[in-house]
Chain A
């Protein structure tokens, strides 16, 4: 924030639009342009959906392995173990997303209490 001090109190808002909003929104609007004329059965939709899915689980893999912020203090083995337990719960309890997320999160807390970190 100190670097913005000389630009007045509007500076953070200008930066929000220029370096936060625009670099994000441009991808959505490019998507709007590319999706024109495509229908639900287009082959390119299968491809786009697969690309988005791979990036999505790629984000998951990176967040678990290279954890941000407070999660970084939790040992990697605890993070991987908790994700594995969550997967087991998801598969065992009727492929319930809630069961998987609740189990994985509880396992993180239990792992930190047992092995330290955070």
Chain B
């Protein structure tokens, strides 16, 4: 099959910025973000923050767990330094995500300022979908594709934040509980679907089991230790199998 035919078959939405935006709009993560950011908008409303502030947390922070900490901790009157440390710890995962994603996104000629936007748009949802779709996008169009995908997701999340802010009073508790379950489940099944090599599966399993155990045992920095142990175990498996990365 000629390469062009492969591309058109593998990328029903096209490449480039609009291709990325279309891929985002039809991704299950558009629904997932809608659900989880409805609850973030409602949370900001309940703590008495302004609407514009709530939407701005989505655009600037773009990491749901950090936003939940910011809204609930500031809203409860916690010390700003304490909040900053808690958010910094919860956002640590973005470092390995950006390091794993950018080399796939950029061209050899790309300058640092070309990858600032895709780096800012990196969040769990965008990372999962970008890793899945980018290998099918021609190298020269990947930055535009990643930006389209990430901005589409961010637009959905920002609209959902505003909608959740307005609906805050009317959301039944059972619906909120169900919406809160949508994010972890979509992360889990997408990670399972994307796990192609043994190393991915080892990391996936170690993370799933180790993090709750460490947290249950009261070990600090549980996610950092989980990442290091899972990463090293997966890397060891990869090396022992002698498979090319």
**What's the minimum C-beta distance from B83 to chain A, rounded to whole angstroms?**
5
One digit per residue, 1 when the CB lies within 8 angstroms of any chain B CB and 0 when it does not, for chain A 4-31 equals 1000000011011111111111111111
Contact assessment for B104 and A50 in the assembled complex, using a CB-CB cutoff below 8 Å: no
**What's the minimum C-beta distance from B137 to chain A, rounded to whole angstroms?**
13
**What's the minimum C-beta distance from B88 to chain A, rounded to whole angstroms?**
4
**What's the minimum C-beta distance from A99 to chain B, rounded to whole angstroms?**
8
Report how far A98 CA is from B27 CA in the complex, Å.
Answer: 10
Contact assessment for A112 and B177 in the assembled complex, using a CB-CB cutoff below 8 Å: yes
Name A97's contact: one of B28, B222, B223 (CB within 8 Å). Answer: B28
Q: Which among B92, B99, B203, B226 has the highest number of chain A CB atoms within 10 Å?
A: B99
Name A52's contact: one of B77, B104, B189, B227 (CB within 8 Å). Answer: B227
Contact assessment for B174 and A58 in the assembled complex, using a CB-CB cutoff below 8 Å: no
A45 on interface, CB distance cutoff 8 Å: yes
**Which residues of A lie under 8 Å from residue B28 when comparing CB positions?**
97-98, 101
Q: Which among B70, B83, B120, B200 has the highest number of chain A CB atoms within 10 Å?
A: B70
Within B100-136, the residues touching A (CB, 8 Å) are: 100, 102-104, 108, 112, 115-116, 119-120, 122, 124, 127, 131
Report how far A117 CA is from B74 CA in the complex, Å.
Answer: 28
Name A58's contact: one of B32, B77, B195, B211 (CB within 8 Å). Answer: B211
- Knowing A54-B203, A56-B207, say if A31 contacts B47 (CB, 8 Å): no
- CB nearest to B121 among chain A residues: A28
Contact assessment for B102 and A31 in the assembled complex, using a CB-CB cutoff below 8 Å: yes
**Which residues of A lie under 8 Å from residue B47 when comparing CB positions?**
1
- Knowing A28-B94, A50-B203, A57-B208, say if A45 contacts B226 (CB, 8 Å): no
One digit per residue, 1 when the CB lies within 8 angstroms of any chain A CB and 0 when it does not, for chain B 56-92 equals 1100111101111010001101001101110110011
Contact assessment for B180 and A58 in the assembled complex, using a CB-CB cutoff below 8 Å: no
Contact assessment for A112 and B174 in the assembled complex, using a CB-CB cutoff below 8 Å: yes
- CB nearest to A109 among chain B residues: B178
Contact-size category for A: 35 or more
Within A54-87, the residues touching B (CB, 8 Å) are: 54-71, 73-74, 79, 82-83, 86-87
Contacting chain A: which of B13-21, B157-165, B229-237? B229-237
One digit per residue, 1 when the CB lies within 8 angstroms of any chain A CB and 0 when it does not, for chain B 176-189 equals 11101111111111
Contact assessment for A52 and B127 in the assembled complex, using a CB-CB cutoff below 8 Å: yes
Contact assessment for A49 and B100 in the assembled complex, using a CB-CB cutoff below 8 Å: yes
**What's the minimum C-beta distance from A25 to chain B, rounded to whole angstroms?**
7
**Which residues of B lie under 8 Å from residue A24 when comparing CB positions?**
61-63, 66, 87-88, 91, 94
**Which residues of B lie under 8 Å from residue A36 when comparing CB positions?**
112
Contact assessment for A53 and B180 in the assembled complex, using a CB-CB cutoff below 8 Å: no
A114 on interface, CB distance cutoff 8 Å: no
Q: Which among A35, A50, A79 has the highest number of chain B CB atoms within 10 Å?
A: A50
Contact assessment for B203 and A108 in the assembled complex, using a CB-CB cutoff below 8 Å: no
Report how far A105 CA is from B32 CA in the complex, Å.
Answer: 11
B219 on interface, CB distance cutoff 8 Å: no
**Which residues of B lie under 8 Å from residue A34 when comparing CB positions?**
95, 98-99
B228 on interface, CB distance cutoff 8 Å: yes
- Knowing A24-B63, A46-B199, A90-B192, say if A55 contacts B100 (CB, 8 Å): no
Give the interface of A toward B (CB within 8 A).
Answer: 1-4, 12-13, 15-32, 34-36, 38-71, 73-74, 79, 82-83, 86-87, 90, 95, 97-98, 100-101, 104-105, 108-109, 112-113, 117-118
Q: 4 shortest A-B CB distances, which residue pairs?
A: A54-B230, A31-B98, A58-B211, A51-B231
